[in-house]
Amino acid sequence: MGDMGCNGLLWQFNRKDKIMGFFSWITQDTNKSINNIHCNKPMFNVTMTNPINGQKWTESNYDGYGVFGGKDYYKLLAEINGKTSRDEGLAIAFDTEIELKNKMKIIWPTLTEDRNAKVKGKPENCPEQGYFYDDCIEW
C-alpha cells in the first residue's frame, strides 16, 4: 500500500485491489466511463434520468460522489423504488440479494451522454471508479 497524489489529492492504494473512493458508471448509450473532475481526462455531460417520470439532471463536472445536476443517484434509486434515504439506495445498489429478500424488481435511474437517449436497466459500474485510469495515475 502507498499514497498517490493526483491533482493534490492523496489516495491510499494497492495496485491489485483498488480501494473504493469514488462512485462511477459506464454511460448506457455510449459506453464511456464517467470520469470525475479529480482526474485529468476531459469532462463530458452526463444525464441521469428518472425512468418513472422522465425527470432529468445533467452534470458537466462530475465530482465522483454520485451527484448529477444536484440530485444524488442513490437517493433517486431509493425514491423510485419506494424508499426515502440515500442509505436505502446504497443498500438497493450493493445488496446482491435484495430483489429476492424483498420480492421486488429494482428500477434503476439511467445514465447517458445524450440526454434524449432511450435506455433501460442498471448502469454498469465503472471498474476505474471514474479516476483510477492507467493514464491518470502512474502505478
- Tens digit of pLDDT for each residue in 86-135? 999 999 998 877 766 767 789 999 999 999 999 999 999 887 776 666 66
Q: Is residue 7 part of a domain?
A: no
Q: Is residue 70 part of a domain?
A: yes
Q: Is residue 131 part of a domain?
A: no
- H helix runs in the chain, sequence order: 73-80, 86-94, 98-102
Q: Is residue 46 part of a domain?
A: yes
Q: Is residue 8 part of a domain?
A: no
Q: Is residue 48 part of a domain?
A: yes
- Tens digit of pLDDT for each residue in 35-91? 888 888 888 999 999 999 999 999 999 998 899 999 999 999 999 999 999 999 999
Q: Is residue 44 part of a domain?
A: yes
Question: Residue 29 is part of which domain span?
Answer: 25-112
Q: Is residue 60 part of a domain?
A: yes
In this structure, the strands spanning 9-13 and 2-6 are antiparallel
Number of domains in the chain: 1
To the question of pTM greater than 0.85 for the whole model, the response is no
